[in-house]
Structure 1
């Protein structure tokens, strides 16, 4: 009885198609619904397919593999860093190279410098850079001196391999730096007055380059009132591949290539500084993950070629399994506004998915350079500009939509 809403023309079309000799034909009704659904799916796919400009290889100052690409919100520029510590600043419009600078770290000789990751601390105009020398250095990106080092976090037990930074959007003083390391440990560093000072200035020793030395043991023992720590070893002994702090849930999510603990979520206990762990099992482990805040879904990039979507509160099985890739998936990124997902695999296949209906609306295979099988690749997505940057060792490739501000697509 309740036919829903529709125009006269739509109801006329419906009855013209399904009425046979004065009666509604079940066969004709089913055929009509299937055809209409197929047409809607085709239209949905065509409206979501990106129209790329020709891929562009960017002038690159790096001789080593690119480890991270960041977008500087204050200036609109892009910042890249290589394994050897070479930083490149790029224009926000055409991604042209503006200038370069080599990071200084007197803890190690320049030839031994190895950057593992970098994150932007946008509320304090700094970047945090992790090194294989088992330290995290905090560089000022607004000082007159190029990237002067302000603080060094030293005394870490294992090599910090991946970083994440989150700031409370309603309170700039509250922020979280998360560190995943090669010993399977996830360390969460909460700042209480980040907008004033990350660490207690009076407690700092300084090096000859005026960088304040912060020892990890001092943080654990609570000697810096401006911050405190929480840790777990849910991935041990596997390396932690990626970490994300989920502020809305007061939880930290991480992944590794160990099947038994492919993904671990550490939930902060109420009125406590301890973490309650939940572990997620996959067939072969996970290279990467991302979180969609609106849908509250976590996507994982599987060594077993699959992309899985998880409800953070359900460990028994994923919400859905996405199978399109034929080699290990090494990167996943959500488009928060469009409810889409980008996945990239080792065989240089890029897929764009409609998350609500798990449809692959675009598959790109011919835009990337020929490289060796063990090439180090990172994927950077700037949703507002509808562009992607992919690194292939020291090479950077830019993919940009022809209609960057259209509603259709990355």
Structure 2
């Protein structure tokens, strides 16, 4: 929205100042919020977005917008809005964790590939933590170093302090620098950790280290600063790590040899040094945006230096008392520094003569700075254990966290780490302390995949859930905790995944794609086992793995209207259909796309399609055994009809998209196109020999109904092992629910769950809460509209009462004038017919006529109710469309397809509900029903 839109909206509000304001669903064109705002904004917002905007602006929830409400909303949005959570981190869920560390923690990091946190203490202890911060493993690097020295014949028992550490994510190695003037590389993720290489003794004591992967096609960079002001650049090739890992012997590298020009070619590692500062280097890193290194020191002259990697050119910042720490903020582009003068400064990295802004608030020296790039937040730490969160855009303090817990051996917070993936802040001393972002729990919906989820399958063998999305990604999840185990991408070379299933053993995954190809995978490691190619490249809609005796088949259906059967031969890695089922003659197959498959032992296969038919096949012979179609159900033999017919309507306009049952088929799960789930008890629907079906109301029990997603549910599964329900939807999420409809969690969320512990269950997703609020708003508006309509109908009904009395008096006058004529007619009838007709008989006939007219009106209303009820229960397919002719609405088929009519049993309407028919059978100005146009 620009200033011109704002001025036009202000003029529109002023022109309606004598009215109540803008309504969301008013019938007046000039006061309809969607129409007026939509025209001014040029249709930039959708229907739902306009509804959400209306609800945001309508602060008092009275259903109307005024200029005060609109201008207040715009003003608050211009200054950053009314922050629902003034704090950034939730102090109520602050956690203090004990640890094996007996000294201060120097470095905290998160290894995304292993889904583990790693902490490195000054005494050389390395700890690994789960995403829920449970201790998993402890490694003592001093013992590894002593074993290394023993391997090269040195004396054991060397003691040292770790000054800094960095984890090499690309290689899975840990690098530490010590006050023993050494740089050590450890393989701490191996089953048996060991020291790979040691570079030393260095000329000076290293103080800080950083790592930058993929500096170019061959090299990675490692930078470390020392106590004499030197910045050391270590260039490593990938072959160096391969050789160091494959060689079982310890590798000791002398710095003097690494400084040679041919060292990179011979040793795959080289070292270069540059004198930058006159004091200790506090921090050094490489900035790819400028192709330069940045270092800082506690000196007034060259407090921070930006040095070019290819040339010796340097630019520097002067700051009083020097700089202890710095960090680069990408949005907006600032270089943030902090030092002993307690001031945080923001610098334009290309203009270093003057800071672009300053942040005041700390009462002690600033020791560390972090950046939350997603929110543009600056997180600063001072020596007095105070953490402040700043907004980098408007340079204001958002929150202050004070640590009041005493620590040993030093009462300070030695390091900070912000986990962008799990959105939490970790503080390290000799223990770990965590703070969680507010917005991670309340304003964001976790996404399981980046695309629409096709299916989520539970594997009983591995107790895992395998989910696949249309983007071609398959992910393996731990069903008990929701944690990701494995993921592989691009399964069908850029084509969408459309169907999935397991083989009979549950060890292989079969996927179908948009181009008609079918592939079999080892889903535990992403290995392609077999490719099956159909006769035509059309979409696969469903796949099933079937065992018949010693034979194993993969059956696939899709848009080609045939059933493709593949033989599962373990010796072949590529297969074509061994049989194609399409039917012939009177036993023809489908005439439109096939959507699903079902199998019943020993050899019966059932397929359903868009043509509304269910076709039965003999999989062994390949012959079509019969066809069932809903419109012709009354023409079939009663023994072939369905057991019962179940009305599973969830909400208006919602179709059924997925079905599932438990192991003994006593519970039926039904999912809909609007995200609703129903659970039915069908345990009493048992058919025995010689028995007949009974009433549905006596056999079916609706156990539970709830909304699981805001979009279509593509897959639903009942996991009897855990007694939970798993749903997958187009909204990119796979969610877990209890059988009572309580939300357990979403696969991919930061915090795992424990199925036996309800305390770990997550609250209902925020999108469901928002949709519930919108639904309540829509219902209240509909209720208000209905009440006004009812009042109008009642007043119109009362107005017709005098008119009816006048018409009766006119009829009496007409009757008096025609008495003589009626008497003559009576006499002729009595003479000819031989029986007597009295005036009382004529009066009775007149009453019967009036009663017949009333019954005609009620029958018309009953027909409408039946039509609406039938339309709700009818599954809308691509052929069925809705048309409007004048004031009448009806359904028809796009291709003029005729369907046989079925007999309706409309319910008898309640007399107090007659007013509802006015919307469909309106009265004219005289209060009479309009004549039919037919």
TM-score with structure 2 setting the length: 0.38
Partner of 1:181: 226
Change (3 A) 1:374 1:277: farther
Partner of 1:210: 249
Partner of 1:257: 298
Distance 1:51 1:187 in 2: 37
CA offsets per residue over residues 14-46 of structure 1, 9 Å max, x none?
A: 8999xxxxxxxxxxxxxx999975674362554
| 1:54 positional shift | 2.5
Distance 2:358 2:137 in 1: 43
Partner of 1:220: 259
Partner of 1:140: 187
Distance 1:80 1:214 in 2: 26
Partner of 2:240: 197
CA contact (8 A) 2:220 2:235 kept: yes
Correspondences of 1:5-404 after superposition (within 5 Å) = 5-6=5-6, 9-11=9-11, 37=75, 40-41=78-79, 43=81, 45-46=83-84, 49-52=87-90, 53-92=92-131, 94-103=132-141, 104-106=144-146, 110=157, 112-146=159-193, 148-168=194-214, 171=217, 173-191=218-236, 193-194=237-238, 196-198=239-241, 210-222=249-261, 223-225=263-265, 226-236=268-278, 238-269=279-310, 274-365=311-402, 367-371=403-407, 375=412, 377-392=414-429, 394-404=430-440
Distance 1:109 1:56 in 2: 39
| 1:221 positional shift | 1.2
Root mean square deviation, CA, Å: 3.1
CA offsets per residue over residues 354-403 of structure 1, 9 Å max, x none?
A: 112212222223x54145886352111112211111123x1221112355
CA contact (8 A) 1:299 1:309 kept: yes
Pick which of 35-44 and 253-262 moved more: 35-44
Secondary structure at the residue paired with 1:235? coil
Distance 1:319 1:220 in 2: 40
CA offsets per residue over residues 266-292 of structure 1, 9 Å max, x none?
A: 1123xxxx4322121111111111112
Secondary structure at the residue paired with 1:312? coil
Partner of 2:3: 3
CA contact (8 A) 2:255 2:271 kept: no
CA offsets per residue over residues 177-204 of structure 1, 9 Å max, x none?
A: 010111111111122x32x224987xxx
Change (3 A) 1:11 1:396: farther
| 1:265 positional shift | 1.2
Change (3 A) 1:176 1:136: same
Distance 2:121 2:335 in 1: 28
Choose between structure 1 and 2 for higher RCO, CA contacts under 8 A separated by at least 6 residues: 1
Secondary structure at the residue paired with 1:248? coil
Distance 2:7 2:443 in 1: 26
CA contact (8 A) 2:385 2:412 kept: no
Distance 2:82 2:343 in 1: 23
Pick which of 121-130 and 376-385 moved more: 376-385
Distance 1:14 1:61 in 2: 69
Mark the runs of 5 or more structure 2 residues left unpaired by the alignment. 18-69, 150-154, 445-934
Partner of 1:20: none
| 1:11 positional shift | 4.9
Distance 1:119 1:352 in 2: 25
Distance 2:243 2:282 in 1: 30
Distance 1:281 1:45 in 2: 37
Pick which of 99-108 and 78-87 moved more: 99-108
Distance 1:404 1:60 in 2: 26
CA contact (8 A) 2:294 2:307 kept: yes
CA offsets per residue over residues 113-137 of structure 1, 9 Å max, x none?
A: 2111111111111111111111111
Distance 1:33 1:47 in 2: 22
| 1:298 positional shift | 1.4
The structure that has the greater radius of gyration is 2
Secondary structure at the residue paired with 2:99? coil
Distance 1:234 1:13 in 2: 64
Secondary structure at the residue paired with 2:256? helix
Mark the runs of 5 or more structure 1 residues left unpaired by the alignment. 18-31
Secondary structure at the residue paired with 2:425? strand
Normalized per residue, the structure richer in helix is 2
Distance 2:369 2:96 in 1: 22
Change (3 A) 1:112 1:59: same
Secondary structure at the residue paired with 1:112? coil
Change (3 A) 1:120 1:48: farther
TM-score with structure 1 setting the length: 0.82
Distance 1:180 1:302 in 2: 18
Change (3 A) 1:39 1:198: closer
CA contact (8 A) 1:200 1:224 kept: no
| 1:140 positional shift | 1.4
CA contact (8 A) 1:340 1:354 kept: yes
Partner of 1:24: none
| 1:295 positional shift | 3.5
CA contact (8 A) 2:231 2:273 kept: yes
Change (3 A) 1:216 1:54: same
CA contact (8 A) 1:230 1:275 kept: no
Instruction: Provide the aligned length of Structure 1 versus Structure 2.
Output: 376
CA offsets per residue over residues 309-333 of structure 1, 9 Å max, x none?
A: 1122222111211112122111111
| 1:51 positional shift | 4.6
Partner of 1:26: none
